[in-house]
């Protein structure tokens, strides 16, 4: 299953889709207030614990330039690294 995220300074939207699900019908979906969390990993960990669905792929839309598989978000004090996210999630 695929975890999809839209990461912004105000809110983070996460959803899980299967190959069979319609783009308008995720299996699970939740919105988070980004500033309430210390990292994207914290949000994703909480979301996955709540929905209890297995995920084997993820894609995130992030406000900020991605340089060498890492991004420092424009409106949050977060640094996201592809390898760290992949190994911890």
Residue 20 confidence (pLDDT): 83
Displacement of CA 66 from its chain's centroid (Å): 15
Question: CATH number of the domain that 28 lies in?
Answer: 3.30.420.40
Number of folded domains that form the chain? 1
pLDDT band at residue 11, thresholds of 50, 70 and 90? very high
pLDDT in tens, 33-82: 999 999 999 999 999 999 999 999 999 999 888 889 899 888 899 999 88
Question: Which residue range(s) make up the domain with 64?
Answer: 2-88
Question: Which residues are CB-neighbours of 56 under 8 A, at least 6 positions away?
Answer: 1, 2
């Amino acid at each position: 299953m695929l975890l999809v995220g839209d990461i912004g300074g105000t809110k983070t939207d996460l959803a899980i889709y299967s190959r069979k699900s319609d783009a308008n019908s995720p299996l699970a979906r939740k919105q988070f207030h980004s500033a309430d969390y210390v990292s994207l990993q914290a949000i994703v960990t909480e979301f996955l614990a709540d929905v209890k669905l297995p995920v084997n792929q993820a894609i995130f839309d992030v406000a900020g330039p991605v340089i060498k598989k890492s991004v420092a978000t424009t409106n949050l004090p977060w640094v996201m690294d592809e390898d760290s996210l992949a190994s911890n999630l």
